[in-house]
Amino acid sequence: MIKELLKENLIFFEENKNLSAYTSWKIGGPASLIVHPQNKKELKIVIKVLSDYKQPFFVLGNGSNVLVRDEGCSEVIIKLGEGFSRIEIRENEITAGASVPLAALAAKAAEHSLGGLAYTSGIPGTVGGALIMNAGAYGEEMKGIVSETEVFDVRNQEFYTLSNKELSFSYRSSFLKNNSGYIVVSVTVRLHTDDSAAILQKMKKYKNERLMKQPYEFPNAGSVFKNPEGDSAGRLIESVGLKGRSVGGAQISEKHANFIVNKGGAKAKDVLTLISLIEKNIYDHYNIRLEKEIIIL
Ligand SMILES: Cc1cc2nc3c(=O)[nH]c(=O)nc-3n(C[C@H](O)[C@H](O)[C@H](O)COP(=O)(O)OP(=O)(O)OC[C@H]3O[C@@H](n4cnc5c(N)ncnc54)[C@H](O)[C@@H]3O)c2cc1C
């Protein structure tokens, strides 16, 4: 019935598609339904239909921080479409739709001589995903630049604006993480005036540093674990001799031990086995329970 109602409302959806096509790890089994609302009106209809049928859903951004299990998922996947990819500039503030790639937002800011987003250079997420995860690097994070966020409140079926404070940002997290009660629609960032060439140079420097230190040559999802207080997860994993360890097609990167790479044909179960191995070794050696940064679907 859900599909009939979506069809009736001319809302685009795909069926039985492997989510490996939608994740940076290139791993993941099928979703029975992937819905692509193109604007706020369609999003409202989609959520009404799914809520009426008590159908759980998961909003996927660029899938650059998500591990989808091999057996796929029972949630309906929501991928925000065209109407969520606009960028508007007002003086030193930019409002970007949730599906805008961070790279496009940073490039636009640089073009308009607005600084504050250079740190995102090389983070392959969308604006929505970056907000949820409080994406950060080089000592900066979304918390420092977000002024407000428009969300769709699933329970009340209404759009609201949340202030920076209401988002309760913390290290790689926000109040909206693991909270399917809200969908990010757009994000407004407050930036500062800066020299365009200087911003671009900073972005290039960050990108080059990443290319040197991180395994961009293989599909991955960035850091698998959060850094424990005062230490780095990569250093700990390397210190217990796990760098380079493989299971199936997955490998703890030889370049950066907090990255697990897909060397070809990796399954989610291979990645999960490596994750368990790391967790056990770090606990046995250091009595530290590493916390996962990635989200498992
Ligand atoms: C090579 C590489 C380098 C990386 N480097 C960094 C780094 O330096 N710093 C960093 O913080 N991260 C890094 N990441 C991780 C990742 O890119 C970020 O977490 C990014 O912000 C995730 O955005 P996404 O659109 O891919 O979100 P997804 O992975 O698709 O989703 C992440 C979470 O956000 C939710 N979500 C996404 N969009 C919405 C929405 N519109 N409404 C509600 N919920 C939503 C999803 O449900 C999920 O819970 C890296 C990843 C890779 C592959």
Q: Give the Cα separation of 279 and 269 in Å (integer).
A: 15
Report the atom number in ligand 1 closest to the C-alpha of 84: 41
**Mean pLDDT rounded to a whole number for the chain:** 95
Domain-located, residue 223:
yes
pLDDT at 279: 98
Write the pLDDT tens digit of every residue in 163-186.
Answer: 999 999 999 999 888 777 999 999
| Pair (74, 90) in one structural domain | no
Write the pLDDT tens digit of every residue in 14-49.
Answer: 999 999 999 999 999 999 999 999 999 999 999 999
Tokens 């994406």 — which residue? 135
Total number of domains constituting the chain: 3
102 CA to centre of ligand 1 in angstroms: 10
Write the pLDDT tens digit of every residue in 229-241.
Answer: 999 999 999 999 9
pLDDT at 180: 72
Domain-located, residue 209:
no
8 CA to centre of ligand 1 in angstroms: 32
Q: Half-sphere exposure (CA, 13 Å, Cβ side) for 219?
A: 24
Confidence of residue 143 (pLDDT cuts 50, 70, 90): very high
| Pair (92, 193) in one structural domain | yes
pLDDT greater than 90 at residue 280: yes
Strand 76-78 and strand 30-35: the pairing is: parallel
Asked about 148 being catalytic, the answer comes back as no
Confidence of residue 205 (pLDDT cuts 50, 70, 90): very high
| Pair (38, 68) in one structural domain | yes
Asked about 85 being catalytic, the answer comes back as no
Confidence of residue 156 (pLDDT cuts 50, 70, 90): very high
Domain CATH for 22: 3.30.43.10
Grouping H, G, I as helix, E, B as strand and the rest as coil, residue 28 is: coil
| Pair (231, 265) in one structural domain | yes
| From 20, 64, 174, 223, active-site residue | 223
| Pair (139, 39) in one structural domain | no
Domain-located, residue 117:
yes
Query: Is the CB of residue 184 less than 8 Å from the CB of residue 151?
Result: yes
Domain CATH for 164: 3.30.465.10
| Pair (136, 39) in one structural domain | no
Class of residue 196 by CB neighbours under 10 A (exposed 0-12, middle 13-18, buried 19+): middle
158 CA to centre of ligand 1 in angstroms: 24
pLDDT at 176: 87
Q: Of 78, 101, 135, which marks where a domain is finished?
A: 78
Q: Give the Cα separation of 64 and 134 in Å (integer).
A: 14
| Pair (55, 123) in one structural domain | no
| Pair (73, 91) in one structural domain | no
Q: What share of the chain is helix, strand, coil (3-state, %, to 5)?
A: 35, 25, 40
Average pLDDT score over residue span 209-213: 91
Please work out, in degrees rounded to the nearest 5, the angle formed at the alpha carbon of residue 27 by the alpha carbons of 219 and 4.
130
- Domain around 103: 85-199
Tell me how crowded residue 248 is: count the other CB atoms within 10 A of its CB. Answer: 16
pLDDT greater than 80 at residue 222: yes
| Pair (247, 147) in one structural domain | no
Report which protein residue has its CA nearest ligand 1's atom 32. 129
| Pair (265, 159) in one structural domain | no
pLDDT greater than 90 at residue 140: yes
Look at residues 264, 166, 278 and name the one whose alpha carbon lies nearest to residue 219: 264
Best residue among 123, 142, 169, 212 to mutate for probing ligand 1's pocket (most ligand atoms within 8 Å of CB) is 123
| Pair (228, 179) in one structural domain | no
Q: Of 172, 199, 226, which marks where a domain is finished?
A: 199
- HEC string of 241-270 equals CCCCCEECCEEECCCCCCCEEECCCCCHHH
Domain-located, residue 207:
no
Asked about 235 being catalytic, the answer comes back as no
